[in-house]
Amino acid sequence: MPSVIKILPQHIANRIAAGEVVGRPEAVVKELIENSLDAGADHIQLIVKDGGKSLIQVKDNGCGMNPEDAVLCFNRHATSKISTAEDLENIRTMGFRGEALASIAAVSMVELKTKTGNSQTGTLVKNNGGEITENSEISTDNGTSVSVKNLFYNTPARRNFLKSDHTEFRHIYETFIRLAVANHNISFLFINNGKLVFDLKATDLSGRLSQIYGSDFTCNLLEVSNSNELISLNGFISKPSFTRKSRQEQLFFLNSRPIANKSLLYAVHSAYDDLIEKGDYPCYFLFLKLDPYRFDVNVHPSKSEVKFDDEKALFSFVRKTVTRTLEENNLVVNIGSSALSGKFYQNTDSIKKHRELTLYHKSASADNFTESFKKNKHGNVHELFVKDSGAYNPERNTDQETEHTDDHDISQNTSVNEIWQFRKKYIIYHLDSSLMIIDQHAAHERILYEQALERLNSNANLSQQLLMPITVVLNHIDYELVKSLEKEFNALGFDIEVASRNRVIIKGIPSDVRIGNEKLALQDMIDVYKKNDVKLNLDKRDNLAKSYACKHAIKAGDVLSEAEMLNLIDRLFLSRMPYVCPHGRPTIIKISADDLDRMFARKGFS
């Protein structure tokens, strides 16, 4: 049998390798900017068109290349950064594999212009799909400019695999932010489809975070700084009171390189354990410094995953540092013996605890408490079926008069006699011969969702005006999103005006939004909207109504008065689809007396 194995031609090998290095436009941006950083540039310009599909250009004022290197750099394994195997153990540059330019050129049309500081003229090299089509002397600035056009033009399958321009841009945007945060001492200019996204001057880390996220954001951050002989950790973390609904503002860097490592992520989160609600994410921008020989970045070509030689020690160092920062900033108080087990409670948590106690005492002495509960002084049932008697609730209408009248009307409608809140999460009552259990959050979500849809469809524009308009500075993506949804936001009752330079002015809010909570209400809604957008691909209005409902519905943990519970039930049954929340989960569970009899094997004896 003749030999069947062939060595692939270089250009085919490069095209295959390109799949690994350049998955999408974002990867090209990352590789090119990293090259500029490695070249010692202190000013980098990024120009993108159509989500990077038609153009990605990175221009720098770095060391440039001589005419020979300007051609050589397109060869596979062509790198100036390592030459011996030992060098691999001691890498300090972003790149070293020497395959980025070869891979990018294999699947696009590249134009490279470069000039070193000590030469009079520069070089232009054009490379289409791995073939050099032009190599000439030109006059150009010191430094390097690489334009990547028509990415994946010769690999249609990959091109079809790309997402919308908007989505591809978002990936580029996130990568840009990571690089800009890590390299705050370098100035960046970012232009998308001819519009300025960022013009960032060199500054310190906190300055860079302000430039990107706004000063409202940075005043909620705490500085982190700790080191020993082997490790150092610096940067910023958010106060526990300032959290997001997504992980977008969580950046971890290892020796200035953005990394993804589950264990480190968990180390930071575990320090916030008892301080934030489940589903809320702290923001952080943390820089870890380690000797290069203590970890291996070679695990993955994109170099974002790393392996550490002593992950445990690192974990505890990070956790300890973050915990200490939170403690030192007096955000936490230790209570009782739980302090010994390393658990901390935020001030608000101890208020919550206090609330529970008050509730317990008040209910124990309440006159209208049923006999059976009164007798059960020690049982858990007593504690769990606490009948609410008006404990503190910031959203509560404190007017006792109205509460009473409401109470009366509603109880007649639904013929509810006894009603309890169980674990501050469920409402329990009996209706005719059935026991009803309502999930308070899901039920309220259903009500608000339908109400929001109704407003969106009727363009009702009902909002309560604020005395003083509030200006919110958003990041660019959120700003663009609000801009595209301005009409819908207004219909919902947010009287907002989209101003210039990423600013949004809130003049009025829907009546369900608490005064003083406007900024957070808007930001949270945007976060949920984006999440839904990626995950569920919803229609604009439906998504907005869902985000609105989710963010403004009462939560598990909110204490409700009897009147509020009755009101909720009443409104729930007036809705179109009372039995499921907008996400399709049940709102009500019903257990009939017959079911109970059956469960207790009582059938026939009742």
| Residue ranges in contact with ligand ADP by CB under 6 A | 31, 35-36, 38-39, 60, 62-65, 73, 78-81, 95-102, 144
Taking a C-beta distance cutoff of 8 angstroms, is the pair 82, 16 a contact?
no
Q: How far is the CB of 109 from ligand ADP (least distance, A)?
A: 17
575 binds, among ligand ADP, Mg ion, none (CB under 5 to 8 A by kind): none
Residue 35 within binding range of Mg ion, rule CB under 5 A: yes
Question: Of the candidates 405, 190, 231, which has an alpha carbon nearest to the alpha carbon of residue 318?
Answer: 231
98 binds, among ligand ADP, Mg ion, none (CB under 5 to 8 A by kind): ligand ADP
From candidates 62, 95, 129, 493, binder to Mg ion by CB under 5 A = 95
Contact segment (CB under 5 A) with Mg ion among 34-42, 136-144, 342-350, 404-412 equals: 34-42
Q: Which two tokens stand for residue 514?
A: 């608490």
Phi/psi of residue 150, each to 5°? 50, 55
Distance CA(398)–CA(403), nearest Å, equals 8
CA diameter of the chain: 104
Instruction: Give the contacts of 480 (CB within 8 A, at least 6 positions apart).
Output: none
**In a 3-state reduction of DSSP, which class is residue 541?**
helix
Length of the chain: 606
Q: Whose CB is nearest to ligand ADP?
A: 95
Residue 274 DSSP label: T
Residue 282 within binding range of Mg ion, rule CB under 5 A: no
Distance CA(207)–CA(186), nearest Å, equals 12
CB-wise, 35 or 127, nearer to ligand ADP? 35
Q: How far is the CB of 115 from ligand ADP (least distance, A)?
A: 10
Q: How far is the CB of 16 from ligand ADP (least distance, A)?
A: 16
Instruction: Give the contacts of 377 (CB within 8 A, at least 6 positions apart).
Output: 364
Q: How far is the CB of 468 from Mg ion (least distance, A)?
A: 51
Residue 100 within binding range of Mg ion, rule CB under 5 A: yes
Mapping DSSP onto H, E and C, the string for 138-193 reads ECCCCEEEEEEECCCCCCHHHHHHCCCHHHHHHHHHHHHHHHHHHCCCCEEEEEEC
Distance CA(480)–CA(592), nearest Å, equals 51
Q: How far is CA 501 from CA 41, 158, 214, 422, 496, in A?
A: 27, 36, 11, 47, 15
Q: How far is the CB of 59 from ligand ADP (least distance, A)?
A: 9
CB-wise, 113 or 551, nearer to ligand ADP? 113
Q: How far is the CB of 519 from Mg ion (least distance, A)?
A: 41
Contact string (CB under 5 A) for Mg ion, positions 12-31, x = contact? --------------------
Q: How far is the CB of 79 from ligand ADP (least distance, A)?
A: 3
CB-wise, 305 or 533, nearer to Mg ion? 305
Q: How far is the CB of 175 from Mg ion (least distance, A)?
A: 14
220 binds, among ligand ADP, Mg ion, none (CB under 5 to 8 A by kind): none
Question: Of the candidates 458, 93, 483, which has an alpha carbon nearest to the alpha carbon of residue 255?
Answer: 93
Residue 52 within binding range of Mg ion, rule CB under 5 A: no
389 binds, among ligand ADP, Mg ion, none (CB under 5 to 8 A by kind): none
80 binds, among Mg ion, ligand ADP, none (CB under 5 to 8 A by kind): ligand ADP
The per-residue DSSP string of 231-251 comes to -EEEEEEE-TTSEESSSTTEE
Q: How far is the CB of 184 from ligand ADP (least distance, A)?
A: 20
502 binds, among Mg ion, ligand ADP, none (CB under 5 to 8 A by kind): none
CB-wise, 127 or 561, nearer to ligand ADP? 127
495 binds, among Mg ion, ligand ADP, none (CB under 5 to 8 A by kind): none
Site residues for Mg ion per CB under 5 A = 35, 95, 100
